[in-house]
Amino acid sequence: MTHRVHTDGTKVRPVRVQHRLESAVAGVRGPVRFHAPLKEYTSFHIGGPADVLVEPADVEDIVRLAKQTREQKLPIFVLGGTNVLVRDKGIRGVVVNLARLRAIKEEPGAVLYAEGGVGMPTLIGQAIRRSLAGLEWAAGIPGTVAGCVVMNAGTRLGEMKDAVKAVRIVSPKGAVIDCPAEAIEFRYRRATLPPGVVVGVWLQLRAGVRSDIEKVVKDYLHYRRDTQPLALPSAGCVFKNPLNDSAGRVVEAAGLKGTSVGDAQVSTKHANFIVNQGHASAADVLSLIKKVRARIAQKTGIKLELELNIVGEA
């Protein structure tokens, strides 16, 4: 059987699949884009197309989407885009981007509620303006607040679990559930939450002095600018730190800085970053990761685990 193909070489979905995709997103008020190139939505600037990409207008839209997607037996993947490598053939089913869920409100007791799509830099800016301390550790993390909960994002100064009070989730059946932090299992760069789309996060902060908070944030941003390759597309750290060590140190000590496959390169500035020097494919990044892991295992016996999320079809 022959398949029709798009200009990017990926297969055109059969009519019955296209019909299910259309039913899944019917009536959604936010923008819907079929065959959307995900390289435009990832910090790596890499990735094949989503069958359909949706930017829900609000939580109600997500409830509708969850129910309809379930009816059509299609998967949903939420993409913030800053810690993922989307493979070259893209993601099947419905990809959701929360770019339109951006509201932030302050609640009594130094609590901020942020909708899932709020970017960490924006949230930190708001915390500073309100003289609320407790997020300084996250300065420079580019992901959404929801993505940061799911990943239990962190730095050497702190991690998400220190600030999360509760999360709001739309379940796969379309129910809106508020889940307290105590019901979430936070581990190193991963949290176990009830299944669904995280649409909001309550953060427990504390009253502070604006200039003090601002100083910690600025100093940490400077430190990051000096030590990380922020001028080139990347997805942050590729590997988790091995016990009592740093993945960057291990990769650097093995002499792997600057190693490349195609346009994917182990950063010469920070060895735990892989940068896209122009037109790297996901296949290039994956083969570079394989090379680095094999070399480290051979030299040190350490099996580097991925922090990066690898998704989609090869």
Ligand X SMILES: Cc1cc2nc3c(=O)[nH]c(=O)nc-3n(C[C@H](O)[C@H](O)[C@H](O)COP(=O)(O)OP(=O)(O)OC[C@H]3O[C@@H](n4cnc5c(N)ncnc54)[C@H](O)[C@@H]3O)c2cc1C
Residue 201 interacts with ligand X (CB under 6 A): yes or no: no
Residue 270: other Cβ atoms inside 10 A: 20
Asked if 251 interacts with ligand X (CB under 6 A), we say: no
Number of residues lying near ligand X (CB under 6 A): 30
Q: Does 146 bind ligand X (CB under 6 A)?
A: yes
126 makes contact with ligand X (CB under 6 A)? no
Region class of 223: left (phi > 0), else alpha (psi between -120 and 50), else beta: alpha
Smaller CB distance to ligand X: residue 15 or 231? Answer: 231
Contacting residue, 235, 238, 251, 254, with ligand X by CB under 6 A: 235
Interface stretch with ligand X, choices 144-152, 176-184, 204-212, 244-252 (CB under 6 A): 144-152
Query: CA 285, CA 198: separation in Å to the nearest integer?
Result: 28
Which residues in 160-199 contact ligand X (CB under 6 A)? 197-198
Under the criterion CB under 6 A, does residue 200 sit at the interface with ligand X? no
Q: Which is nearer to ligand X, 132 or 150 (CB)?
A: 150
Residue 250 · residue 304 · CB < 8 Å = yes
- The nearer residue to ligand X, 30 or 154, going by C-beta atoms, is 154
Q: Angle formed by the axes of helices 15-25 and 59-71, to 10°?
A: 150
Q: Does 144 bind ligand X (CB under 6 A)?
A: yes
**Number of neighbours of residue 62 by Cβ within 10 angstroms:** 27
- The encoded tokens of residue 90 equal 């893209």
Could you tell me the smallest distance in angstroms from the CB atom of residue 299 to ligand X? 26
User: By CB under 6 A, what part of segment 25-84 binds ligand X?
Assistant: 43, 77-84
**Least distance to ligand X, CB of residue 2, Å:** 33
Q: What CA–CA distance (Å, rounded) separates 127 from 135?
A: 8
Q: Is 90 in the site for ligand X (CB under 6 A)?
A: no
- Using CB under 6 A as the binding rule, whether residue 97 contacts ligand X is answered as no
Shortest Cβ 155–ligand X spacing (Å): 5
Residue 182 CB, shortest distance to ligand X, in Å, is 19
Q: Token digits for 70?
A: 């379930």
Buried b (16+ CB within 10 A) or exposed e, 184-197: bebeebebebeebb
Q: Enumerate residues 6+ apart whose C-beta is below 8 A from 251.
A: 239, 257, 266, 271, 272, 292, 296, 304
Question: Does residue 134 bind ligand X (CB under 6 A)?
Answer: no
Shortest distance, CB of residue 169 to ligand X, whole angstroms?
7
Binder to ligand X among 30, 37, 142, 312 (CB under 6 A)?
Answer: 142
Distance of CA 115 to the CA centre of its chain: 15
Residue 131 or 174: which CB sits closer to ligand X? Answer: 174
Helix extents (H) in 26-119: 59-71
Of 11 and 268, the one with the shorter C-beta distance to ligand X is: 268
Candidate residues 86, 94, 112, 151; the one interacting with ligand X per rule CB under 6 A: 151
Strand-pair partners of 94: 52, 76
Residues 6+ apart with CB under 8 A from 156: none
Q: Which is nearer to ligand X, 36 or 141 (CB)?
A: 141
Q: Of 152, 150, 141, which is closest to residue 187 (Cα–Cα)?
A: 152
Supply the minimum distance, in Å, between the C-beta of residue 77 and ligand X: 6
Structure tokens at 293: 């892991």
What does the alpha-carbon distance between residue 269 and residue 248 come to, in Å, rounded to a whole number? 10
Q: Point out which residues bind ligand X (CB under 6 A).
A: 43, 77-84, 98, 116, 141-144, 146-148, 150-151, 153-155, 197-198, 230, 234-236, 309
